Amino acid sequence: MIAHRGASGQLAENTLPAYELAIEQRADMIEIDLHRTRDGATVVAHDEDLAGLGGKGEIAAATLAEVRALDAGGGERVPTLDEVLDRFGGRIPFNLELKRGSSATYEGLERVALDAVRKRGLLEQTLFSSFFDPVLERLRALAPEARLARLFSPRDPERPLERARAVGAEAINPWRGLLQPELIEVGREVIESFIKEDERLAPFAFQLDDSLRNAPHTLGLEAEQTLSYLSQSFGGPSSTYSLIANSDIPWPTIALSDGEEALIDTQGYGRVRGSQNRDDRKLAFDTYWGKWGEYRNSVGMVLNSHIQTQVGLAKARNYDGVLQRELHQDNLPPAVYHTLVEEVNKALPTLHRYFKLRQRMLGVEQMHYYDIYPPLVSLDKEFDVETSKAITLEAMSVLGDDWVDMQTKAINERWMHVYPQRGKRAGAYMSGFAYDVHPYLLLNHNDDYASLSTMAHEWGHAMHTLYARQEQPFQTANYATFIAEIPSTSLELILQDYMQKNAESIDEKLFYLGHALEGMRGTFFRQTMFAEFELSLYEAAERGEALSGDRISEMYAEILRRYHGHDDGVVIIDDLYANEWMFIQHFYFNMYVFQYATSKTAGTALYSKIVNEGEAGVENYKDLLRAGGSNYPYLLLADAGVDLAKPEPYEAIVAKMNAIMDEMEALLDEAQ
C-alpha cells in the first residue's frame, strides 16, 4: 500500500506529520513529489505553483526561504528532500516523483535526487518515477541500477508497456482508465483461464469480474481519454452549489421569544427548529426558507446543469438512464429502488399515524411542517464518554462474547478523537482505509443520548471493518456503500432496545421510543421521499423537460405534501417550505440517498433475525460483516436472508414502527 503524499486523507499532504502518520498506519511506501527552487533547493510539494500554499507564482521562481515562509497546512512548512530522507529514509521506502514546472525543467534534479538517496544508502529501496521520458533516460544514464517507474496520464496514454520498457522502467503507474479497456479487449474467457491457471490471481477474481461486466459501458481509449479531460468540469455544478450554500448567502438574524438573537444560517436553523416555543420555530422556518427562496432561480439552474450533465454521461456510456448507471455501479437490480419507493408509498398511513401521535404529544390542534423537529419528551440524563462506552458494550452482549471481547479491547485503545474542539470537523465518521491498521473514529461527544447513539453507530462501522479484515484479503476487504450503513444501523437498534428495556420511568421509555420513531421517519421515509423526488428530476430531464427553479419547487411541493398528508390535513406544508430541495446537497451525489433507507430496512431485518433466531441470527449477521466486499452487495444481503428487491423487509420495518407506536400510545394512556 503506497501512501500518496503521506497520509494525505487525514493530514496536510506532503508534510512531515503526514509521513509520520503513514508509517504509523503501516504503509508499504510513501510517494512524494520533488521540485527545485530558484536557488537550487529540492523541496517536496505536489503543485508547481504556490497558489495552493497561499502564495503566488511558481516554485521554480521562488527561493527556498520564500517557499518555507508559506503554510503547507496545519502550520507545517514545505519540507526539503534532505529533511524527509534524514527523518524517514531508514524507516520506509519512497517513491520519488520528479516533477517539472510549467516553465521550468528543473535541470539537474535527477542528479541531486540520486545523490541524496545514494549518500544515505537508500538507492535499493527507492523508486524514481516521472511522466517524462527524458527524465527517466537521464536517471538511467546516471545510475544503471536505479529503480524506475513510468507514469501515464489521460493526456499520455499511448503504448504504456512499450514505452516503459524503452526507458528501463520496472513498473508503470497508469491512469486507471487505461486498464479497463485493455482488460475488456483481452476478454472474459482468457482472463478466467488465467485465474484458473495461476492461484496468485484468485484474490483479484472479483475485481476482474467487476471490470469485465462493464464492457457494454466502457468506451474506446480515445473516447475515455476525451471524457477524462472534462472530468473536472463535470463537478462544476456541485462546486458552485457549495459556494452558494456555504459562502454566498448572507444569513439573517432573528429575535427569539426570550429576547435572544439567533443567526439563522444552517446551524442556527437546525438548532431553533427544535425549539419548544412554536413561534420561534415557525419564525426560523419562514426566515430560513425565505432566504433560500431568493436564490431559487440560481440554485435551480445549478441543479439542472448537474442533472443534464449526468443524463448526458449516462447516454454516452450506453445506459438507459441515470438510475441504471448508478445501480450498475454495485450491480444492484432496479427492483431494489422501485420496490423501496412503492412500499414506502403504501406505508404512508403509518407515517401519518406518527404525525398524529406527535400532534397529541405536542398538544397542538393542527400539525404544521415546523412541528416535525421538537423532541416529544425531554431526558435529563448525561452520558459521558466512559458511561457511553460501558452502555454500548453491555448492549452488544446480544452479539456474543467474541464481539464484546473484540469491541472492549478496541474501544479502550486510543482509536477515537472524542470531544469537540476549535477547528475540528463537525459530525462523526469512521476511517478504515488502511487495511493492516486499526480503524480511526472521529466523534464530537456532547454527553447526551444522541452522542451515545452516535458512538454505537460509528462502532458499527469499525466492527464491520475489523470483522471483514479477519476473513478477507486486501483486495476484497472494502465493502460497498450499499452495505456500509447496515451494521451501524443495527447497533443503533440494539442500543435502542437495551435503553428502553432499562428505562427507569415512563417518560424515559417514551424518550427512547420517540427517538426510534424519529429515526424511522428521518431515514426510512424522508430519505425515500428524497430518492423518489430525485428520480423524478432525472426522468423529467430524460424526457426533455425543462427544469427551472420554479418547476423544481412545484415538483418538490407535490411529493412533500403527499408524504406528509397535506391534503388530508395531517401536516400542513406552506408554499415557502417547498424551497427545501435547495438545502439538500446529496442531490449532487447521484441517486445516493436511497441507500440510507435500504440500510435502515436491512439493519432492522438482520436485528430481527438476531432476536428471533438467537445464536444462528448472530452468526448470520457476523458472516455478512466478514464477507467484506467479496461479492456484490445485493447478493451478500440475499445470502444473509434479506432480499431488498421484495416487499417483505420493507413491510417488516413498517410493522416495527407500528408496534412502537402501539407501545407509546399504551404508555401515554397509562400515564393519564
Given this model, what pLDDT does residue 242 score?
87
Q: Order of strands, edge to edge, in the sheet holding 416-417?
A: 416-417, 440-442, 429-431
Phi-psi region of 246 (alpha: psi -120 to 50; beta: other; left: phi over 0): alpha
d(CA 18, CA 10): 8
3-state secondary structure (DSSP) of residue 302: helix
Domain map of the chain by residue range? 2-174, 297-381+474-672
3-state secondary structure 118-157: HCCCCHHHEEEEECCHHHHHHHHHHCCCCEEEEECCCCCC
Stretch 198-218: mean pLDDT, rounded? 91
The pLDDT of residue 156 is above 70: no
Which is higher by pLDDT, 52 or 549? 549
Query: 613 by DSSP, 3-state: which?
Result: helix
Q: Give the per-residue pLDDT at 175.
A: 65
**For residue 123, what are the contacts with CB-CB under 8 A and spacing of at least 6?**
114, 117, 143, 145, 146
Q: Distance (Å, rounded) from C-alpha 217 to C-alpha 184?
A: 11
Question: Would you call 458 a catalytic residue per the annotation?
Answer: yes
Query: Among residues 647, 654, 649, which one has the least CA distance to residue 637?
Result: 649
Tell me the average pLDDT across 350-371. Answer: 97
Q: pLDDT band for position 102 (50/70/90)?
A: low
**Residue (of 65, 54, 132) closest to 99 by Cα position:** 132
* Count of residues in the chain: 672
Name the strand (E) or helix (H) holding 33. Answer: strand 29-36
Tens digit of each residue's pLDDT (9 = 90 or more) over 605-659: 999 999 999 999 999 999 999 999 999 999 999 999 999 999 999 999 999 999 9
* Mean pLDDT for the stretch of residues 382-405: 96
pLDDT tens digits for range 269-282: 999 999 999 999 99
**Between 175 and 510, residue with greater pLDDT:** 510
Take residue 563 and report the three cell numbers written for it: 408524504
Average pLDDT score over the chain: 91
**Is the pLDDT score of 436 beyond 90?**
no
Would the pLDDT of 157 be above 60? Answer: no
Q: What is the DSSP string of 482-531?
A: HHHHHHHHHHHHHHHHHHHHT-SSHHHHHHHHHHHHHHHIIIIIHHHHHH
Residue 352 has pLDDT above 80, yes or no: yes
- Residue-wise pLDDT for 567-599, tens only, equals 999 999 999 999 999 999 999 999 999 999 999
**CA 76/CA 223 separation, integer angstroms:** 41
Instruction: Look at 24-33, 136-145, 362-371, 521-530 and tell me which has the smallest mean pLDDT.
Output: 24-33
Q: What pLDDT is attached to residue 260?
A: 94
| Cα distance between residue 620 and residue 603, in whole Å | 12
CA 68 to chain centre: 34
Kindly state the average pLDDT of the residues 215-237: 84
Determine the distance from the C-alpha atom of residue 669 to the mean position of all C-alpha atoms in its chain, rounded to a whole number. Answer: 43
- Model confidence band, residue 396 (pLDDT cutoffs 50, 70, 90): very high
Q: Which residues pair with 417 in a beta bridge?
A: 442
Q: Is pLDDT at 367 greater than 90 in this prediction?
A: yes
What are the distances in angstroms from CA 626 to CA 468, 472, 620, 634?
4, 7, 10, 15
Q: Which three cell numbers stand for residue 468?
A: 471483514
For residue 301, how far is the Cα from the chain centroid?
26
Q: What is the pLDDT of residue 161?
A: 66
Q: By CB neighbour count within 10 A (0-12 exposed, 13-18 middle, 19+ buried), where does 645 fall? A: middle
pLDDT tens figures, 295-316:
999 999 999 999 999 999 999 9
Question: Does domain 2-174 correspond to CATH entry 3.20.20.190?
Answer: yes
pLDDT grade for 177, boundaries at 50, 70 and 90: low
CATH code that applies to domain 297-381+474-672 = 1.10.1370.20
Instruction: Read off the amino acid at residue 210.
Output: D
The cell numbers describing 464, all together, are 464491520
How far is 289 from 578, CA to CA, in rounded Å? 8
What mean pLDDT is predicted for residues 71-82?
89
Q: For position 545, what pLDDT does the model report?
A: 92
What angle is formed at CA 367 by the lines to CA 586 and CA 669, rounded to 5 degrees? 115
pLDDT for position 163: 74
Quick one: average pLDDT of 338-346? 98
pLDDT-based confidence at residue 530 (cuts at 50, 70, 90): very high
Least confident of 3-7, 171-175, 335-339, 382-386: 171-175
| Residue 1 confidence (pLDDT) | 74
Grid cell for residue 276: 419548544
For 383, residues 6+ apart whose C-beta sits below 8 A from its C-beta are 391, 447, 448, 449, 451, 452
Burial of 485 (0-12, 13-18, 19+ CB in 10 A): buried
Q: What is the pLDDT of residue 217?
A: 93
Does the pLDDT at position 407 exceed 90? Answer: yes
> Under 8 Å CB-to-CB from 376, ≥6 apart: which residues?
358, 361, 362, 510, 511, 514
Of 458, 485, 508, 532, catalytic: 458
Predicted local confidence at residue 155, as pLDDT: 61
What confidence tier does 368 reach under pLDDT thresholds 50, 70, 90?
very high
- Alpha-carbon distances, residue 474 vs 434, 437, 469, 471, 623 (angstroms): 9, 12, 8, 10, 17
